[in-house]
């Protein structure tokens, strides 16, 4: 039976930014969030490159003739292609120098979800009671957590919590993560830029999900972020695996401009 992501999506400028450097992709089998950064108003250029490149790949990924190894190669290689395009664009236009983007995506297969990840935009799984992060932040703070030098609670308010160790910036130093996880119909996932996760703790997000209907969930998360200052753009995807063949692709935020 065909499976699809049924997705609710929202993006918001927040309370400080003048423009939206976040971009997102919603399609039946591929969803993604990209958080642009750097350059002279060029973060939106980098995130748009990432999301439009991934959208172009989605039809190829859904070709039933492609085997698992080839599909995994395509997913990993798209990160290098995005990185190269960012390098090419900055070479053509030095004013864009320093731009980059995160990229966190979920691809749905007949049996699994595949997580593709570079940076600190996050992917979570919701089991009906608790939110569990399935991506691992590519940040200096995460490395310090892994080394036991900081706790997650200490990181949440740390002034350097968003200092990245990996991003798509055209520097060819990336090591994208691709992992496959079992996933069943009814499973739910949250993808977000750090405009949400750097302001609200996992506990706070968890509590909002628990008490909100899906109709108001995204606005509740955005409003809670704004109550705490919302210093960055906020982009959120809430996705459920359903036994339906859905259609249509939506580009969100900077990717739609």
Q: CATH number, domain at 28?
A: 3.60.40.10
What is the value of pTM for the model shown?
0.94
**145 pLDDT exceeds 80?**
no
Domain boundaries, position 105: 4-256
**Region 158-167: what's the mean pLDDT?**
76
**Region 211-240: what's the mean pLDDT?**
97
Distances (CA, A) of 235 to 30, 66, 80, 119, 152: 16, 31, 24, 15, 22
**140 pLDDT exceeds 90?**
no
- List Cβ neighbours of 104 (8 Å cut-off, separation of 6 or more): 32, 33, 34, 115, 116, 117, 118, 119, 121, 122, 123, 135, 191
pLDDT in tens, 61-120: 988 788 989 999 999 999 999 999 999 999 999 989 999 999 999 999 998 999 999 999
How many distinct structural domains can be found in the chain? 1
- Can you give the pLDDT at residue 65? 80
Sign of CA dihedral 77, 78, 81, 83: negative
**Region 42-48: what's the mean pLDDT?**
95
Q: SS3 for 226? A: helix
């Amino acid at each position: 039976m065909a499976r699809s992501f049924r997705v609710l999506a929202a993006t918001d400028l927040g309370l400080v930014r003048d423009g939206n450097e976040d971009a997102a992709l919603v399609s039946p089998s591929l969803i993604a969030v990209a958080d642009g950064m750097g350059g002279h108003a060029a973060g939106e250029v980098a995130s748009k490159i990432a999301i439009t490149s991934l959208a172009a790949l989605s039809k190829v990924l859904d070709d039933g003739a492609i085997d698992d190894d080839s599909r995994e190669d395509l997913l990993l290689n798209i990160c290098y292609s995005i990185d190269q395009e960012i390098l090419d664009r900055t070479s053509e236009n030095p004013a864009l120098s320093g731009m980059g983007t995160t990229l966190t995506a979920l691809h749905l297969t007949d049996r699994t979800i595949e997580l593709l990840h570079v940076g600190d935009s996050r992917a979570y799984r919701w089991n009906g009671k608790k939110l569990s992060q399935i991506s691992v932040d590519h940040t200096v703070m995460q490395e310090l957590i892994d080394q036991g030098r900081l706790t997650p609670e200490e990181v949440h308010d740390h002034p350097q919590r968003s200092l990245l160790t990996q991003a798509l910036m055209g520097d060819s130093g990336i090591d994208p993560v691709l992992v496959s996880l079992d996933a069943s119909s009814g499973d739910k996932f949250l993808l977000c830029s750090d405009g949400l996760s750097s302001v609200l703790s996992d506990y706070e997000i968890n509590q909002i999900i628990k008490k909100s209907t899906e109709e108001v969930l995204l606005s509740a998360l955005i409003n809670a972020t704004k109550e705490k200052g919302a210093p960055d753009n906020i982009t959120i995807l809430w996705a459920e695996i359903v036994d339906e063949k859905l259609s249509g692709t939506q580009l969100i935020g900077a990717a739609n401009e």
